[in-house]
């Protein structure tokens, strides 16, 4: 895809060069230099020992490394298995083209009954960022905090310090809210932080229709990151001047000149070094074809994500002894909860609502020369959040109608799987060729939209295991989607709410209607019944990229807990986990902003812990 984009740019440049259009060339030149200037350098000569080693430079690790390096007397090494962001990854409208590339770990779930049935080998693709900035480089940039009750629930379960009142300051600390009408609400939003947050510069008329449709159904148009969550909104995104604002850009670039912060790229961690006293004293990793061992004075911090962190713990001999013995790994510490409690926001992504007007994100209309020209001027469809134009939190009949705790999220897309004619979205979701040909191909490139239903608090929980003792083998991932029938019931109600949206005046003005061809495998069932929706969802539901919970935070009486409320691994010394894997229960919304908050809070926990000791510098 990079080649395609550069060809588009080249086509644009040619007439500029021929006509000596200095103003257009200046715009392009400014964009390229703005992207490249100040990027983080790959440290060549590493020290034999650091105060802290952070494994994983993603949404959490980049934040943590930046914050720890604020202490001038501490040395920090950040290990990242991938490389640097690219110009293509900087373009919000091209997010879908980043999956299945070398900046994606390209995980897949294992086949299980009743899930992913319309996908190749009945496996759901689970993209995860393998790049500095991690999944904040790969995601759709949505800035969502979750519900107050999520965090209060963590605290009530014994996780002191994690109530909403206690974590809200960390959301605000990171944030540089650029929308004035939101920034003025100082109780919930911050300005001047590292992480730029704003609405996308471009949206289609369908975005406005989505919010208007929600109002027709009785919901309020509100800031769902504010006082109340239930309602409809235009999304807030982690973008800056029309370009992606990853955690690498936001947190590491400002810290790039600190001599006490080293960043090792394309450094694939193999295991944590653990001595007989169960103390983590270093990390083994491969870089440039060589195995290296770096020691640590204070702590190893795993920020490799909800898949990578438990995998590394297991590879290091920390986990369920029976499983470790099965794959031939010496047991260093028995901790059965590692890799368990796997949660994800399953999403119904296959439905298509057709419209009569040419207003949606049909790829042949926006991936072109004028769009590139508009993009470098910080406008146009390439600045949009890759088609995501609306978010809503709604209550199904299974939620308490008197409580602001919705159980369903709708992610509104100004397009659908047909919008690119099967070029990328089909492959990203791993859809079978036969399903695409029979169901989607007849309507390819038609104008459409899609309200993706998402079960916010899944009762179904999965797990992951090592495939082998080889650190390059991807783990076995068992998603267990819809194992608890309650999740299916909630999802079906979400499908019905999407159908109700299509019948509002706001959408009927576009001639909106649900594509009524029976889905392959569900042909014998009456359309739009609960039975049909369940069949459809079991065939075509997949991840919303929100994996969490596999190194669960809990109090000492919880036998499934992996880390304590200060994110220290139980029974170990010098080892913490800081990423989405520590969530006891996944938050009610997209996870990138909460992970950044977790890292902000963890940085303070670590500073408070070590700066209390008399032998340490007090130069915060």
Q: Round to whole Å and give the CA distance between 64 and 598.
A: 9
Q: Are 450 and 410 in contact (CB under 8 A)?
A: no
Q: What is residue 294's predicted lDDT score, i.e. its pLDDT? A: 98
Confidence of residue 29 (pLDDT cuts 50, 70, 90): low
Q: Are 428 and 512 found together in one domain?
A: yes
C-alpha count within 13 angstroms, C-beta hemisphere, residue 480: 17
Per-residue CA distances from 68 to 51, 71, 215, 248, 298 (Å): 10, 6, 45, 15, 12
Q: What is residue 613's predicted lDDT score, i.e. its pLDDT? A: 65
Q: Are 305 and 420 found together in one domain?
A: no
Contacts of 303 (CB under 8 A, 6+ apart): 54, 55, 56, 57, 58, 60, 61, 64, 309, 577, 578, 579, 599
Q: Are 309 and 283 found together in one domain?
A: yes
25 pLDDT above the threshold of 50: no
Q: What is residue 2's predicted lDDT score, i.e. its pLDDT? A: 41
Within-domain flag for 145: yes
Higher-pLDDT residue of 5, 588: 588
Look at residues 510, 540, 570 and tell me which one is the last residue of a structural domain: 540
470 pLDDT above the threshold of 80: yes
Q: Are 310 and 184 found together in one domain?
A: yes
333 catalytically annotated: no
Q: What is residue 284's predicted lDDT score, i.e. its pLDDT? A: 98
76 pLDDT above the threshold of 50: yes
Give the β-pairing of 239-240 and 261-264: unpaired
Within-domain flag for 469: yes
**What is the pLDDT averaged over residues 576-591?**
98
Q: What is residue 615's predicted lDDT score, i.e. its pLDDT? A: 46
32 pLDDT above the threshold of 60: no
Q: What is residue 505's predicted lDDT score, i.e. its pLDDT? A: 98
Residue 283 three-state SS: strand
For the chain, what percentages of helix, strand and coil (3-state, to nearest 5) are there? Answer: 35, 20, 45
Q: Are 222 and 302 found together in one domain?
A: no
Q: Are 430 and 543 in contact (CB under 8 A)?
A: no
> H-type helices in 336-482, by residue range?
363-366, 369-376, 425-428, 433-435
Give CA torsion, residues 131, 134, 137, 141, to 10 deg.
180
Within-domain flag for 48: yes
Q: Round to whole Å and give the CA distance between 423 and 99.
A: 12
CATH code at 518? 3.30.410.40
C-alpha count within 13 angstroms, C-beta hemisphere, residue 36: 6
Q: Are 471 and 575 found together in one domain?
A: yes
Q: Round to whole Å and give the CA distance between 121 and 431.
A: 10
**What is the pLDDT averaged over residues 427-434?**
98
Look at residues 540, 558, 576 and tell me which one is the last residue of a structural domain: 540
Q: Are 51 and 102 found together in one domain?
A: yes
**What is the pLDDT averaged over residues 367-375?**
91
Q: What is residue 47's predicted lDDT score, i.e. its pLDDT? A: 98
- The number of domains in the chain is 3
What DSSP element (H or E) covers 168?
helix 164-174
First-to-last alpha carbon distance for the chain, in angstroms, is 44
Which tens digit of pLDDT belongs to each residue from 501-545? Answer: 999 999 999 999 999 999 999 999 999 999 999 999 999 999 999
Q: Are 488 and 413 found together in one domain?
A: yes
CA-wise closest residue to 206 among 500, 510, 445? 510
Confidence of residue 4 (pLDDT cuts 50, 70, 90): very low
Q: Round to whole Å and give the CA distance between 175 and 143.
A: 10
Q: Are 332 and 377 found together in one domain?
A: no
Which tens digit of pLDDT belongs to each residue from 202-254? Answer: 999 999 999 999 999 999 999 999 999 999 999 999 999 999 999 999 999 99
Helix and strand element counts for the chain (H, E): 19, 25
Q: Round to whole Å and give the CA distance between 377 and 27.
A: 7
Nearest 5°: phi and psi at 487?
Answer: -60, -40
The model carries a pTM of 0.95
Contacts of 12 (CB under 8 A, 6+ apart): 28, 369, 372, 373
Q: Are 393 and 427 found together in one domain?
A: yes
Within-domain flag for 391: yes
Residue 480: count of CB within 10 angstroms of its CB: 21
Q: Are 85 and 149 found together in one domain?
A: yes
Within-domain flag for 92: yes
Give the β-pairing of 267-274 and 280-287: antiparallel
**What is the pLDDT averaged over residues 492-507?**
98
Which tens digit of pLDDT belongs to each residue from 250-296? Answer: 999 999 999 999 999 999 999 999 999 999 999 999 999 999 999 99
Give the β-pairing of 333-334 and 107-108: unpaired
Q: What is residue 612's predicted lDDT score, i.e. its pLDDT? A: 80
618 pLDDT above the threshold of 50: no
9 pLDDT above the threshold of 50: no
Q: Are 447 and 425 found together in one domain?
A: yes
Q: Round to whole Å and give the CA distance between 366 and 5.
A: 12
Per-residue CA distances from 619 to 42, 50, 66, 102, 611 (Å): 26, 18, 15, 40, 9
Domain that holds residue 81: 38-111+130-193+268-337+463-478+548-613
Within-domain flag for 261: no
Q: What is residue 455's predicted lDDT score, i.e. its pLDDT? A: 98
Confidence of residue 38 (pLDDT cuts 50, 70, 90): confident
Q: Round to whole Å and give the CA distance between 411 and 349.
A: 10
CATH code at 85? 3.50.50.60
Which tens digit of pLDDT belongs to each residue from 84-98? Answer: 999 999 999 999 999
CA-wise closest residue to 137 among 86, 101, 102? 86
Within-domain flag for 250: no
Within-domain flag for 213: yes
Which tens digit of pLDDT belongs to each residue from 327-341? Answer: 999 999 999 999 999
Q: What is residue 39's predicted lDDT score, i.e. its pLDDT? A: 81
Confidence of residue 31 (pLDDT cuts 50, 70, 90): low
Residue 86 three-state SS: coil
Look at residues 499, 519, 540 and tell me which one is the last residue of a structural domain: 540
Is 131 annotated to bind a ligand? Reply is yes
**What is the pLDDT averaged over residues 488-513?**
98
Contacts of 615 (CB under 8 A, 6+ apart): none
């Amino acid at each position: 895809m990079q080649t395609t984009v550069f060809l588009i740019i080249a086509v644009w440049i040619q007439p500029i060069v021929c006509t000596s259009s200095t103003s257009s060339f200046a715009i392009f030149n400014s964009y390229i230099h703005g992207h490249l200037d100040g990027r983080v350098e790959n440290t060549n000569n590493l020290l034999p020992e650091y105060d802290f080693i952070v494994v994983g430079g993603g949404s959490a690790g980049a934040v943590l490394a930046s914050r720890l390096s604020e202490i001038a007397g501490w040395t920090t090494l950040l290990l990242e298995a991938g490389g640097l962001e690219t110009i293509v990854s900087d373009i919000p409208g091209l997010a879908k083209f980043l999956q299945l590339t070398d900046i994606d770990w390209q995980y897949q779930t294992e086949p299980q009954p009743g899930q992913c049935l319309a996908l190749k080998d009945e496996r759901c693709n689970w993209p995860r960022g393998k790049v500095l900035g991690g999944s904040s480089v790969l995601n759709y940039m949505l800035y969502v905090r979750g519900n107050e009750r999520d965090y209060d629930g963590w605290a009530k379960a014994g996780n002191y310090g994690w109530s909403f009142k206690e974590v809200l300051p960390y959301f605000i600390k990171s944030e540089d809210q650029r929308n004035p009408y939101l920034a003025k609400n100082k109780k919930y939003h911050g300005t001047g932080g590292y992480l730029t947050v704003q609405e996308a510069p471009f949206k289609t008329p369908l975005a406005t229709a989505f919010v208007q449709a929600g109002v027709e159904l009785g919901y309020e148009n509100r800031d769902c990151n504010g006082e109340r969550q239930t309602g409809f909104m235009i999304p807030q995104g982690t973008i800056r001047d029309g370009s992606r604002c990853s955690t690498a850009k936001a947190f590491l670039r400002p810290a790039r000149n600190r001599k006490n912060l080293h960043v090792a790229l394309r450094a694939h961690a193999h295991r944590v070094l653990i001595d007989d006293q169960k103390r983590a004293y270093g990390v083994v990793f491969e870089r440039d074809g060589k195995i290296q061992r770096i020691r640590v004075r204070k702590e190893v911090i795993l920020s490799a994500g909800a898949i990578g962190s438990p995998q590394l713990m297991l590879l290091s001999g920390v986990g369920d002894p029976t499983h470790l013995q099965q794959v031939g790994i010496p047991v260093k510490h028995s901790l059965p909860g590692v890799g368990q409690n796997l949660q994800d926001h399953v999403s119904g992504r296959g439905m298509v609502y057709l419209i009569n007007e040419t207003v949606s994100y049909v790829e042949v209309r926006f991936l072109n020369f004028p769009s590139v020209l508009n993009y470098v001027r910080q406008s146009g469809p390439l600045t949009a959040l890759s088609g995501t134009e609306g978010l809503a939190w709604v209550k199904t009949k299974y939620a308490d109608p008197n409580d602001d705790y919705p159980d369903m999220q709708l992610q509104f897309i100004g397009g659908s799987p047909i919008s690119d004619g099967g070029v990328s979205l089909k492959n990203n979701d791993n859809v079978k060729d036969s399903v695409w040909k029979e169901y989607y191909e007849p309507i390819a490139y038609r104008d459409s939209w899609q309200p993706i239903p998402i079960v916010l608090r899944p009762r179904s929980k999965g797990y992951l295991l090592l495939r082998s003792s080889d650190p390059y083998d991807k783990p076995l991932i068992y998603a267990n989607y819809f194992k608890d029938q309650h999740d299916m019931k909630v999802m079906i109600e979400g499908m019905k709410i999407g159908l109700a949206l299509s019948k509002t005046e706001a959408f009927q003005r576009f001639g909106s209607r649900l594509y009524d061809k029976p889905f392959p495998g569900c042909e014998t069932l009456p359309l739009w019944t609960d039975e049909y929706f369940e069949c459809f969802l079991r065939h075509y539901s997949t991840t919303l990229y929100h994996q969490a919970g596999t190194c669960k935070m809990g109090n000492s009486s919880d036998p499934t807990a992996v880390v304590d409320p200060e994110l220290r691994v139980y029974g170990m010394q010098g080892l913490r986990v800081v990423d989405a894997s520590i969530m006891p229960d996944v938050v009610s919304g997209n996870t990138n902003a909460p992970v950044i908050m977790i890292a902000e809070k963890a940085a303070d926990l670590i500073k408070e812990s070590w700066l209390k000791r008399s032998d340490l510098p007090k130069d915060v």
